[in-house]
Amino acid sequence: MEDDTPHVQVKFRTKQQQYAVPDTPFSVPVEVNREKLSELVNGILQESTESSGHVGHIQFDFLIDQEFLHDSLKKHLEDKDLTSEVVLDIEYVERQAAPRPEESLEHDDWVSAVQGAGQFILSGSYDNTARLWSSSGQALMTIPGHSAPVKCVAWIHHDESQPVSTFVTGSHDQTALVWQWNRDTNEVDCCLSCSGHSASVDCVVVNSTGDLMCTGSWDRTLKLWSTAYTADGENSGDTDRPNKKKRREGSSIQQRVPVLTLGGKSDGMDTDSTPAGHTEAVSAVQWLNTETVVTASWDHTLRLWDLQQAKETALLQGTKAFLDVSFSPLSQTLVTASADRHVRLYDPRSSEGAVVKCSFTSHTGWVVGVSWSPTREHLFLSGSYDTVLKLWDTRSPKAPLYDMNRHEDRILAVDWTVPQLMLSAGVDNRVNVFNYSPATSATH
């Protein structure tokens, strides 16, 4: 019986040469979707590799004009106002494996901050403590030091070959504390107390060399601090017993003042009629390079700051409060989390800075956390008050790759600092750990 179904010519290509097929056009029904296309490519691969012992069925995703195909080819042709006379150039890539849920780490109250480093996880909570965990779920230490909820945490130095790591915690008590952790003895000491904010320290970020950090606060300011520490005039890496005892007695906890303070003027303008910084709380801060940081705020703006010149250099205007921002050194782009439930992609290098490059709409509550993959330029996480952690690919703006539903209440923070660890923290008092190993999606 003759098949009257309309067909379209397609040419397949891939950057994954182990899955390459002949560069010749194929005629396929316009009704096919990505699953049928995946079956077709697998069939071609099976035929061409029978003699070499090809085993298994590979799940593929398909890109047309750098955007993933989610519907049928017919729907794509209709959306782009194309006829079936065209030859579609289709790139295919191995489908991302689903993140695997692993540990769930429990605090005594809301968990508002989390960050991984190597085989370890640092978290901060409304129970006024920070906690250290192994990535396998072992509770290593509870750290009481703040007199109010811990709102942000960040690793400063962590080297698996060295016994001492340093990290910082920021709190509602208006301070940021720098800690030294001796992993061999599992002892921690507070070495720096950074005071200068007049309200909660809500975000902190450390530069790539670990010698400087920036904090943002409910007081609307951005502050720059030195993390350098020398105990009693000795080298900053010294952790011998005498100095440890002195720090416990409080004699060696150095009081630190900021190197630089930016913003905070309530009228939004300084005496030279130039932008004076945020007019509401600073919710997030990220380094873009050695001299530039970006801040996000409840005042609906993103602002870029030149720390060398101590001034604001650019302003990106939004429509609702920005609750988080993440910068990717791989793609040189920003993703933002907003109270209007959307994630947006910006290119800070663009002269059209206020123009959103792409929007990702799937969450049903405030988006409060975003985090780029450290190794894959297209992938990032988002977490929301709707309790869902989502994995996105920038080439798939219409739908996330995966939804991860493990929280029983609002998510407050997400992190993807360690390539194989996806982390989320929330109001259910938990840090959830997902393992991400995208080596293969083959089924056998």
**Residues 303 and 286 sit within 8 Å (Cβ to Cβ):** no
175 within a domain of the structure (yes/no): yes
- Residues 13, 125, single domain; the answer is no
Pairwise CA distance, residues 296 & 338, whole Å: 10
- Residues 309, 420, single domain; the answer is yes
Pairwise CA distance, residues 364 & 377, whole Å: 26
Pairwise CA distance, residues 416 & 217, whole Å: 23
Pairwise CA distance, residues 425 & 316, whole Å: 28
Q: Which pLDDT belongs to residue 301?
A: 96
Q: Which pLDDT belongs to residue 49?
A: 64
Give the tokens for residue 193.
């107390």
Q: Which pLDDT belongs to residue 47?
A: 83
pTM, full prediction: 0.89
- Residues 133, 245, single domain; the answer is yes
Parent domain of 39: 7-94
Q: Which pLDDT belongs to residue 242?
A: 31
Q: Among 94, 109, 131, identify where a domain stops.
A: 94
Sheet holding 322-328, edge to edge: 322-328, 333-338, 342-346, 358-361
- Residues 59, 110, single domain; the answer is no
**Residues 379 and 96 sit within 8 Å (Cβ to Cβ):** yes
Could you tell me how far CA 229 lies from the centroid of its own chain?
29
Strand extents, DSSP E, 269-420: 282-287, 292-297, 301-306, 311-317, 322-328, 333-338, 342-346, 358-361, 367-372, 379-384, 389-393, 402-404, 411-415
Q: Which pLDDT belongs to residue 243?
A: 32
183 within a domain of the structure (yes/no): yes
Nearest to 345 by CA among 320, 369, 325, 321: 325
Over the chain (444 residues), the average pLDDT of each successive run of 10 is 77 92 92 94 82 67 93 92 93 92 96 98 98 96 97 97 97 98 96 97 97 98 93 41 36 87 63 67 98 97 96 93 98 97 92 77 97 97 98 94 97 98 98 84 38
Q: Which pLDDT belongs to residue 427?
A: 98
- Residues 209, 296, single domain; the answer is yes
- Residues 55, 115, single domain; the answer is no
Hey, how many other C-beta atoms are within 10 angstroms of the C-beta on 270?
Answer: 14
Q: Which pLDDT belongs to residue 46?
A: 87
Q: Which pLDDT belongs to residue 264?
A: 74
442 within a domain of the structure (yes/no): no
Nearest to 344 by CA among 275, 114, 67, 362: 362
Which amino acid, 103?
Answer: E
- Residues 165, 194, single domain; the answer is yes
Residues forming beta bridges with residue 91, ordered by sequence position: 13, 63
Q: What is the CATH number of the domain that holds 176?
A: 2.130.10.10
Q: Say whether 253 sits in a helix, a strand or coil.
A: coil
Q: Among 68, 94, 120, identify where a domain stops.
A: 94
- Residues 84, 106, single domain; the answer is no
Nearest to 217 by CA among 287, 298, 160, 163: 298
1 within a domain of the structure (yes/no): no
Burial of 244 (0-12, 13-18, 19+ CB in 10 A): middle
- Residues 153, 60, single domain; the answer is no
Q: Which pLDDT belongs to residue 353?
A: 52
Could you tell me how far CA 308 lies from the centroid of its own chain?
26
Nearest to 43 by CA among 12, 76, 78: 12
User: 379 φ, ψ to 5°?
Assistant: -105, 140
For 14, 59, 209, 316, the CA distances from 30, given in Å and listed in that order, are 21, 20, 53, 42
CA angle 334, 337, 340 (to 5 degrees): 130
- Residues 237, 359, single domain; the answer is yes
2 within a domain of the structure (yes/no): no
- Residues 69, 123, single domain; the answer is no
Count of domains in the chain?
2
- Residues 44, 171, single domain; the answer is no
Q: Among 94, 123, 155, identify where a domain stops.
A: 94
Pairwise CA distance, residues 228 & 327, whole Å: 25
Pairwise CA distance, residues 222 & 264, whole Å: 8
Q: Which pLDDT belongs to residue 349?
A: 82
Q: What is the CATH number of the domain that holds 72?
A: 3.10.20.90
444 within a domain of the structure (yes/no): no
Nearest to 141 by CA among 206, 185, 104, 173: 185
